[in-house]
Chains A and B, each alone.
Chain A
Amino acid sequence: MSDMRSQAISFGLKSEEYDRIVELMGREPNFTELGIYSVMWSEHCSYKSSRAHLGKLPTEGPQVIQGPGENAGVVDIGDGLAVVFKMESHNHPSYIEPYQGAATGVGGILRDVFTMGARPIANLNNLRFGAPDHPKTPYLVNGVVHGIGGYGNCMGVPTVGGDTQFDASYNGNILVNAMTVGLVRADRIFKGTASGVGNPIFYIGSKTGRDGIHGATMASAEFSEETESKRPTVQVGDPFTEKLLLEACLELFETDLVVGIQDMGAAGLTSSSMEMAGRAGSGIRMHLDRVPMREEGMTPYELMLSESQERMLVVVRQGAEDEVKKIFDKWDLDCVAIGEVTETGRAELFWHGEQIADLEVGPLADEAPKYNRPYERPAWLDEVRALDVASLPMPDLDEAFRKVVASPNIASKEWIFRQYDHMVQTNTVQGPGGDAAVVRIKGTSKAVALSSGCNGRYCYLNPRRGAAIAVAETARNVSAVGGRPLAITDCLNFGNPERPEIMWQFVEAIEGIREACDVLETPVVSGNVSLYNETNGVGIYPTPMIGMVGLLDDVEKRTAQGFANDGDVILLIGETLEEIGGSEYLQVVHGRVAGDAPQLNLIREKAVQQFVRDVIQEGQARSAHDVSEGGLAAALAECCITGAEPRGATVRLEGGLRPDVHLFSESQSRYILSVPAIHAKRVLDKAASVGLPASRLGTVGGSRLVIEGMIDIPVAEINHLWRNGFAQVFEQGTHG
């Protein structure tokens, strides 16, 4: 084997991929060229296992200004404004070094959004940790939460939502998925393109060190004991520099000087420069010795592959050099012309005047391997899905209720979001803890509604339906506050795609997202794929995380989930079926993850959401809450304790279901509304007139939650259980 071939393999390329590189180049690559190929053709940058399927996702709609393929997606919200958003994973780095991994994850997604010209207005974070009692979990929870806060708080971007779930399947592979939403004038959107022969290419931001070299290839490999010791490759974040970079870039965007801009994220200078040239069909010439360096003795190879944070590559108009420099000087940031755009279609790299790499740009991006990996429904699925509800012992219902409400998955996450600044920018009309966050758009009557999440248990039991439910539920959350769902971003977290059963989960999940997005008319405008979330052959639950953005035309017409007034009538929209497969109840009370995910009728889902939005628009709903994990019991509990003050309720559940099933079933497409008594009949009639099941559950009032014949617990106790369930598990880990 040639030296370069074995080097290629150590960089994570396959032998046949190396053959293809030699064929494309007509010669053997040198070390720097090989490094560039290896990161551009890594799973992380090339999506080689997933590309064949991602194309199935719907990406178009009248609201879409920019779909996938740019730094982030863009959706029109009227008034000449648009929102820019994307979600991205930083799973592997966060497991290795939770504080810096999570912090730089937040930093990276912020840059993806502000490179488009947008000011970030909200962050959301979706976290998945191992079992609460796993010895590493408290340490990881603390590190990740500190890291997210440390970066986002300093940036002055409110962290308004997200979710946190625990399951043993994430013991060796936590998920840290960060989403940023930005606001931009619809006619001032910037893209990552290197066009205009002769235009200078500027390097701006922090200096380059040796951080994270081969981070992108690490994200494309399974974990083993050995990679756990690869600490030096973790990047360190500097949110202060990023804040300066944000302000400087926004100032730059006010001018007419920018041709194209891209953040140096995974694979750093390599991916930013090659992708910008690739999109424009142009070439680039860069003098790497001009790159600002933090360490001595750095090589061209290291400069091209470093993942140092807080850096951008900008192509500006010829002659604009001085004006650009003036802006970055004001903010004390490095700003150096390192090359120019050419017409050659090649990337020509120089080191002190000597050419050290000469690559055709096209093949780096377009000829990356694309695998149609074999997939097969796993044999174990039938066994896991089998669930005989009748054989489950009937628990003490009050006790089961207490367990579910205090479960870390259901309990209040205030311990987390209290550590995030969720109010800065003074637009947070509704912050974390509700169904969806509501962030007002200053200068208009509008607000965006934001929700993100995914139930990994459902996806494990039924990836197609689980993924569709993730889309439906985030949309349902947005509708619960009165918002109209517009579009999604996704972050597809899976195990090793080289295993047919994992690939099957992936393909099925794509189908589920496609179906749901088609019916709900919420196209996918951006996204990210994270594969190889596996340690020693054990994969995570398939977790296609969904981030939904919706719009409230009138921010005054909105609802929150908490009961607001004694005497109000409690209504259930939708119906409850015998569906405890994959439920929180089944896990925390019976210790099982089994059965099938709940059914999802997307036509019904859409109608229910439309109905609830109409009721909110007409001002008849005093509260609205999506019924999800923990079923009616958990939803009612949350309604009682999350209003301005705690309120009791008396409820009667009718129908032939087993009491525990009725309380904890996780049937989809349901809402709990509370309405003034005089409106109750009108709302029920209206539901009947559009063919939706709706029923009167009871009334708000008193100091206890009474579900007749099943549950009778003081609201104060529920409040205590729910508010402390989470902190109790993690407070002791603060020294971690």
Chain B
Amino acid sequence: MRVRVFVNLKEGVLDPQGKAIQHSLASLGFDEVSEVRVGKVITLDLEGEREQAEERVKRMCEQLLANTVIESYRYEFE
């Protein structure tokens, strides 16, 4: 089964890359964009039962995939 983990900087943590992209979009005329946040998508292919997998993916996020001091995460099973 395949899981997609989305990791983003938490609201309130400045995202320098997002800011640069927003600035760049504005200079291209896309000034309707009021905020840009850049995140990561991590795709995991894994084996086992869905129910256990959910618990384990959560632990993967907590222990490694996200730094919960600054990042939030969510995941989607396909």
Contact = CB atoms under 8 A, between A and B. Distances in A.
A130 to B, nearest CB: 22
6 contacts: A734-B20, A735-B20, A735-B21, A735-B23, A735-B24, A735-B27
Interface string B17-45: 00011011001000000000000000000
A545 to B, nearest CB: 33
Contacts of B27: 735
Interface string A708-736: 00000000000000000000000000110
A191 B44 CA distance: 43
B58 to A, nearest CB: 28
Interface of B: 20-21, 23-24, 27
Nearest to A732: B27
Interface of A: 734-735
Contacts of B21: 735
A734 B16 CA distance: 13
Contacts of A734: 20
B55 to A, nearest CB: 29
A735 B20 CA distance: 7
Contacts of A735: 20-21, 23-24, 27
A350 B24 CA distance: 53
A57 to B, nearest CB: 47
> DSSP class of B's interface residues: helix, strand, loop or mixed?
helix
Contacts of B24: 735
A510 B20 CA distance: 47
A589 to B, nearest CB: 32
B42 to A, nearest CB: 18
In the A-B complex, the 5 residue pairs with the smallest Cβ-Cβ separation, listed nearest first, are A735-B24, A735-B20, A735-B23, A734-B20, A735-B21
Nearest to B28: A735
A734 B27 CA distance: 13
A734 to B, nearest CB: 7
A734 B23 CA distance: 11
B36 to A, nearest CB: 12
B33 to A, nearest CB: 14
A606 B27 CA distance: 54
A21 to B, nearest CB: 45
B28 to A, nearest CB: 9
Nearest to A734: B20
A735 B25 CA distance: 10
Nearest to B21: A735
A734 B21 CA distance: 10
A322 B1 CA distance: 38
A735 B23 CA distance: 9
A412 to B, nearest CB: 24
A8 to B, nearest CB: 42
Nearest to A735: B24
A638 B20 CA distance: 34
A336 B41 CA distance: 33
A276 B53 CA distance: 50
A98 B59 CA distance: 38
A734 B20 CA distance: 9
A734 B24 CA distance: 9
B13 to A, nearest CB: 21
A714 B21 CA distance: 39
A493 to B, nearest CB: 33
Nearest to A736: B24
Nearest to B20: A735
A611 to B, nearest CB: 51
A236 B37 CA distance: 26
A138 to B, nearest CB: 12
A91 B24 CA distance: 28
B60 to A, nearest CB: 21
A218 to B, nearest CB: 31
A735 B19 CA distance: 11
A214 B27 CA distance: 39
A735 B24 CA distance: 6
B25 to A, nearest CB: 9
B65 to A, nearest CB: 19
A416 B27 CA distance: 24
A384 B16 CA distance: 49
Contacts of B23: 735
A735 to B, nearest CB: 4
A709 to B, nearest CB: 46
A394 to B, nearest CB: 41
A734 B19 CA distance: 12
A735 B16 CA distance: 12
Nearest to B24: A735
B12 to A, nearest CB: 24
Contacts of B20: 734-735
